[in-house]
Amino acid sequence: AEYEDTPEDLDLSDLPFELPAEGLEVLDYSGLEVDLGQVAVDQVVLAMPLAPLCRENCRGLCPHCGQDLNVAGCNCVEETVDPRFAVLKNLKLSR
C-alpha cells in the first residue's frame, strides 16, 4: 500500500513531545525497510552545541596559543581584519 500522508496530515497529538511539521523530513525508501541510521546521526550532530564549554561562564581557550583563558590571559595579538572585509566595519544598518 502506498501512503500519501504529508507532515501536515499526520496526527501528532498523542506524542509525548511537540514535533512541528516543518521539522519533519521526507525519506525515500524502497522495499519493506527504512534505514534511519543517517537520520539518527544527523539529529545527534544537530543537537550538539557549536562551541561546547565546560561551564556557562567559561572564557575558553586562546585560538592562537591554546592558553586556558580561565586560568590566565595571554599576550596574543588580536587577529587583524582581512582587508577585503575592512570596509564592512563602517557599515551601518538601519532597523
Cα 22 to Cα 18, 26, 57, 71, 86: the distances in Å are: 12, 11, 34, 44, 38
pTM of the model: 0.35
Spans in the chain with pLDDT lower than 70: 1-25, 79
Condensed to tens digits (0 to 9), the pLDDT of residues 15-30 reads 666 666 666 667 777 7
* pLDDT score at 72: 92
Q: Are 74 and 67 in contact (CB under 8 A)?
A: yes
DSSP letter at 33? B
Condensed to tens digits (0 to 9), the pLDDT of residues 34-44 reads 788 888 888 88
* pLDDT score at 1: 45
